[in-house]
Amino acid sequence: MENRKNWAGNYTYSAARWHCPKTVEHIQELVVRCGRLKVLGTRHSFNGIADCAEDIVSLEHFDHVVALDRERRTVTVEAGVRYGQLCRQLHCEGYALHNLASLPHISVAGACATATHGSGDSNGNLATAVSVMEMVTANGAVVVLSRERHGEEFQGAVVGLGGLGVVTKLTLDLVPAFDLRQDVYENLPLWQLAEHFDDIVSGAYSVSLFTDWRSARFSQVWLKRQVKDDGASCFEAKPELFGATVATGPRHPIAGLPAEHCTEQMGVRGPSHERLPHFRMDHTPSSGEELQSEYLVPHQHAGAALGAILRLGEHVAPLLQISEVRTVAADTLWMSPCYQQACVAIHFTWRKDWPAVSKLLPRIEEQLAPFDARPHWGKLFTMSPARLQSLYEKLPDFQQLLRSYDPQGKFHNAFLDTYIMDA
Ligand SMILES: Cc1cc2nc3c(=O)[nH]c(=O)nc-3n(C[C@H](O)[C@H](O)[C@H](O)COP(=O)(O)OP(=O)(O)OC[C@H]3O[C@@H](n4cnc5c(N)ncnc54)[C@H](O)[C@@H]3O)c2cc1C
């Protein structure tokens, strides 16, 4: 394997050996033979969560759709399939996933393992769609866990942070294919957002708010609205939204970057998988040269948490490319930041300057501490392990689950040892 870096190039994996198995039997053999190993998805995490000093296994050959069950309305996929590839196939069959992240390039297993999310008050993170997982566990056995039959154990395993085994297949809930239109509004005054936050974020199937924290406004509001066949939703975009004005052309969330990288806007109707992600599958998502952090706070603290970041604005802005605010519904997955609480996710796309960003993150974390902000598992944070652990009431159960599946710690790495096991 020539390239040993993650997608952003800010992290170099330390593994001595890399493997690209093509069969489940080969995965089983590797698991039995290796002392410590870790699976790599599409490498879009920004920290060492997927790293291992000994063996890394890539499931890039496991990218097939295995079965569509129309009766149960589910699809079973191999773990390494990317959302973009899966959703195209689902659309041809008349189905869709309930939500997608900002980019379609990531693997299903990697995204679910870290509780990756999109936006929308009613939309749980992507892992909430999982109903069955097939894994090769530490002793080489193939284990199948299902939402129906394995109750709480299943709720603990889905956002598994790569710690339970090699996920080989996932079954996902589907919805009938649906269409969305995407409209962008510019320059939302902060006072309007403060007064009408809930009206704004509940105003569409999925809403994203962008700001650079440089002024008393959010630079862009992306509304992804459902279009039904009755024609009732085929409307001209209103010229104004809480003081923001409708964009006169397509936009990229980061000022100055080409809008061609983004999914179609200007109210043009299209299939949900071509509107929910901000970025197109065949283009570079986001800026490419960047670092990312994200903190999730309980929805009811949205206004206070945004105010706290605003107070740090003069320190945040010089290091920032763009910030995005989204909403995520509550779920029941133990290690999801949205476990039993609807959240607002405050995201930062940073300039690629880790020395400066790493000095600022503790200040952001301090400001967000009163709201029990939980960092995204796949992004950069500086919170102490003790603090992070205190934010997850199901952590002791998760530790127990990891021990029972993997008594020798075969799937542990420095990240898990530090943030999960070291209690
Ligand atoms: C440009 C960009 C945009 C992003 N946008 C969003 C967004 O909109 N919303 C959001 O929430 N996040 C977002 N992220 C973060 C990203 O979704 C997560 O980091 C996600 O985990 C990446 O998936 P991956 O396939 O690259 O997994 P990796 O980073 O490769 O791995 C993540 C974890 O999954 C584990 N894993 C992967 N495959 C398996 C398997 N088969 N079995 C067991 N464990 C496995 C790994 O061991 C590791 O622990 C973004 C990242 C980038 C770079």
Q: What is the DSSP letter of 418?
A: I
pLDDT recorded at residue 3: 82
Which pLDDT tens digit goes with each residue over 267-280?
999 999 999 999 99
* CB of 41 closer than 8 Å to CB of 66: no
Residues 141 and 14: their CA atoms lie apart, in Å, by: 27
Choosing from 14, 64, 116, 280 the residue with most ligand 1 atoms within 8 A of its CB, the one to mutate for a pocket test is: 116
**Pocket, ligand 1, Cβ cutoff 6 A:** 7-8, 38-45, 49-50, 59, 79, 101-103, 106-107, 109-111, 113-114, 116-117, 161-162, 166-167, 285-286, 376, 378
Whether 2 has a pLDDT exceeding 80, the answer reads: no
For the chain, the first-to-last Cα distance in angstroms comes to 35
Q: What is the DSSP letter of 157?
A: H
Q: What is the pTM assigned to this prediction?
A: 0.97
Mean pLDDT of the chain: 96
Choosing from 106, 206, 331, 411 the residue with most ligand 1 atoms within 8 A of its CB, the one to mutate for a pocket test is: 106
Which pLDDT tens digit goes with each residue over 223-240?
999 998 765 556 788 999
Q: How many other β-carbons are positioned within 10 Å of the β-carbon of residue 34?
A: 18
Residues 24 and 78: their CA atoms lie apart, in Å, by: 11
Whether 287 has a pLDDT exceeding 80, the answer reads: no
Residues 283 and 23: their CA atoms lie apart, in Å, by: 30
pLDDT recorded at residue 233: 57
User: Taking residues 89-111, what's their average pLDDT?
Assistant: 97
Whether 374 has a pLDDT exceeding 90, the answer reads: yes
User: Taking residues 51-55, what's their average pLDDT?
Assistant: 96
Residues 413 and 411: their CA atoms lie apart, in Å, by: 7
- Torsion angle in degrees (nearest 10) through CA of 275, 202, 99, 249: 10
Residues 285 and 269: their CA atoms lie apart, in Å, by: 21
Residues 207 and 224: their CA atoms lie apart, in Å, by: 6
Write the single-letter amino acid at 329: A
Dmax over CA atoms of the chain, in Å, equals: 63
Q: Are strands 142-146 and 130-136 parallel, antiparallel or unpaired?
A: antiparallel
Residues 187 and 241: their CA atoms lie apart, in Å, by: 10
Residues 42 and 111: their CA atoms lie apart, in Å, by: 9
CA 248 / ligand 1 centre spacing (Å): 34
User: Taking residues 294-306, what's their average pLDDT?
Assistant: 97
CA 114 / ligand 1 centre spacing (Å): 6
Q: What is the DSSP letter of 273?
A: G
pLDDT recorded at residue 288: 80
Whether 286 has a pLDDT exceeding 90, the answer reads: no
Which pLDDT tens digit goes with each residue over 117-169?
999 999 999 999 999 999 999 999 999 999 999 999 999 999 999 999 999 99
